[in-house]
Chains A and B, each alone.
Chain A
Amino acid sequence: MSHPKRAEVFTRDTERTTWHDETLWFVRQKRDKAVYAVPEFQELRELASQIKTHTLSRLADYLEQFEAQAKANGVHVHWAANAEEHNAIVLDIIRQEKASSIVKSKSMLTEECHLNPYLLRHGVEIVDTDLGERIVQLRQESPSHLVLPAIHLKKEDVGATFFKHLGTAEGEVDPQVLTEAARQHLRARFLTAEVAISGVNFAIAETGSIVVCTNEGNADLAVNLARVHIASMGIEKLIPRLSDLSVFTRLLARSATGQPATTYTSHFSRPAAGKELHIILVDNGRTQQLGRPDFRASLKCIRCGACMNTCPVYRRSGGHSYDFTVPGPIGAILSPNIDMRQHASLPFASTLCGSCTDVCPVKIDIHTQLYKWRQVIAAADEIPASKKWSMRLLSRVLARPGMYELGGKFARVGLRFVPHALTHAPGYNPWAIARELPEPPPQSFREWFKQTNPKP
């Protein structure tokens, strides 16, 4: 199913669409307030963009530097070319540890690799400990947002889910009661976990350490209690120096939620005595994207979700309408790299308004890349045939003034004499589902001009 079809289904619930739009707009406004309060915010964006661009231009060198430093710190470093390799490495570590209780804190990379279903198929159950992630996991859904995985759900939905899975009272919708239930449920899992998996927000080449930014503290609790910590990271998470980090920590939370910083910014450099720290460096299509000059800047993304909160399409179509791990504008420029045919409609799920580009803390030219993906997708013949042929015809007409003038006249005259019910039939004219067509004037501008300014 394409994005417009899934989006149409989402918008059928008018009230829920309003609620979803307003909830995310509220987050966008929080972001605005935080951004306005930092006079040098635009300089920070530029600096962050340059640091990331530089890092990507020497990615191989920085990765090797990172690996050497991490190994020197006593960290096990693994390399995974794709999702399968990543998942196999994780399973291998779990089996070596003979672990049966595994917890995970928020990691979009493990979502991208479909780690949970993979482990389940191999008899290993894994519990997500981020509250939003746990909610969607219980519902067997995927996150609908990078930072707010359960933002598509109302408290009533969460109440029903917890009633079914966690034994809360039927009809319980009090957020505090529901959160407390999740807290008690997760506490038991934290205490027994033998292996804890986390994502990575930043990896520092200079020190070989990783940084995890969370608000709930679940990552810290999980990895400090378990004997083995597995941190999965995409290879684009790298920054060169520890001193570069502050640029990003100042941008990340402000852009994501409007907070000055995430509640927890945890640095992991080496395993504690008697414990293990594994870092898995995952490619999974990233070097391919790095090889596309028009699209490589998409790898600068720090997964703040600001482009989703600001996107007028995302807010009204919901994260699941993108049917890709990373939804929204950034997902629409990352997904065609993974499977262009499957995700062909995503770069078209935008008005190219450019707001995504303007909020992006690392200045990814998102809307320009959306435009460029459209060209690539059409050239590969992955747009609907009707669109392809109508555009070809339109081009013929618009390159020939005589044909254009005649065509325009036909359209206007036609609209005046064909009955409204026909010109506005929703089955034939998607414009007319919610809109009237312009009222056709008797005279075009050019006809008026000729009449008013007769050539001598």
Chain B
Amino acid sequence: MKVALFIPCYVDQFYPQVGIATYQLLHKLGIQAEFPQKQTCCGQPMANSGCEQDAVPVYHHFVDTFQGYDYVVAPAGSCVYHVRKHFNIIEQTPAVQHVREATYDLIDFITTILGVTEIPGVFPHKVGLHLSCHGQRGLHQANESEMTPVRDGHLRRLLKSLDGIELTELDRNDECCGFGGTFCVSEAAISARMGQDRVQDHLRNGTRVLTGGDMSCLMHLEGIVRRQKLPMRVMHAAEILNGTIL
């Protein structure tokens, strides 16, 4: 199995520890991932701003970078969702089709491709899981409150398999955090307010470690946590899972 890591641009530059955890976690699960050095970004920032056409060269570059791999794995559901859903505007060559189908979010890859449903390890903390919308509603990684009261999902199960962990029961299990890509600056007031409300829900219900599968939401929430100097640590789920396996 030839697996490439896709480390989104903002993770590469600002959260290398998340990329490292992803790489090491896969290694511990028996996957020796490669990191194609010419990779950059999935093009979502331009496309979500309405400039999809400007993103086309970036789409081609992405496909060109990753077409030789069986799987492309990224610790960010939103980027994966973008590749899968929105690379439809370029010509659907076999390479494009392959890359769209082969690109996986890390958690999905671990659970559905590797078939890993439990992680041996201990994490004795009160953990709040932030469900990212593109992973949850876009990639169907978790149940949606619009459909069912049952709170379930891939990452929730993986985390629950850790010994000593206590998951926070939130008042609003799957409300958007308000990051939204360029939304976070073009609608700065609403974005901030949404993030503050999300963080408050965690704080109110006892979260000490705030985690999730998508670093973009976590970057936004961490920015609020640090500004408000709250007693909460923000970690990508890959960091938790990697840290618990020896």
A-side residues, CB < 8 A to B, are 3-4, 7-8, 11, 17, 21, 25, 32, 35-36, 42, 310, 312-313, 316-317, 348-355, 357-359, 371, 374-379, 383, 387-388, 391-392, 394-395, 397-401, 404, 408, 411-412, 430-431, 433-441, 443-450, 453
Contacts and interface: CB of A to CB of B under 8 A. Distances in A.
Chain B, interface SS category: helix
Name, among B12, B182, B187, B222, the residue most crowded by chain A CB atoms within 10 Å (CB to CB). B187
Given A358-B137, A430-B185, A412 B190 contact: no
Interface in B9-31: 9-17, 19-20, 23
A351 B7 contact: no
Contacts of B68: none
Nearest to B132: A353
Contacts of B220: 435
Nearest to B39: A401
Given A394-B46, A401-B38, A408 B12 contact: yes
A398 B61 contact: yes
Name, among A8, A25, A394, the residue most crowded by chain B CB atoms within 10 Å (CB to CB). A394
18 contacts: A7-B190, A11-B189, A17-B193, A316-B194, A349-B187, A353-B133, A358-B137, A374-B50, A378-B50, A383-B51, A387-B182, A391-B51, A398-B43, A401-B37, A408-B12, A434-B188, A440-B14, A441-B14
Contacts of A35: 146-147
Contacts of B109: none
Contacts of B169: none
B186 A4 contact: yes
Contacts of A36: 148-149
A227 to B, nearest CB: 45
A101 to B, nearest CB: 43
Interface stretch (B94-102, B118-126, B172-180, B238-246): B172-180
A375 B181 CA distance: 15
Contacts of B9: 398, 404, 408
A446 B223 contact: no
A352 B223 contact: no
A395 B54 contact: yes
Contact of B133 (A8, A352, A397, A449): A352
A350 B193 contact: no
A357 B138 CA distance: 11
B7 A435 contact: no
A437 B37 CA distance: 26
Contacts of A353: 133, 137, 176, 180
A395 B54 CA distance: 6
The size bracket of the interface on B is 35 or more
Chain A, interface SS category: helix
A332 to B, nearest CB: 12
Contacts of B148: 36
Contacts of A359: 146
A435 B224 contact: yes
Nearest to B43: A398
B37 A391 contact: no
B11 A313 contact: no
A375 B194 CA distance: 25
B205 interface: no
A408 B147 CA distance: 41
Given A351-B180, A444-B12, A32 B146 contact: yes
B12 A434 contact: no
Given A312-B176, A312-B178, A449 B35 contact: yes
Contacts of B195: 434-435
A57 to B, nearest CB: 23
Interface in B82-96: 86
B15 A438 contact: yes
A434 B198 CA distance: 14
B57 interface: yes
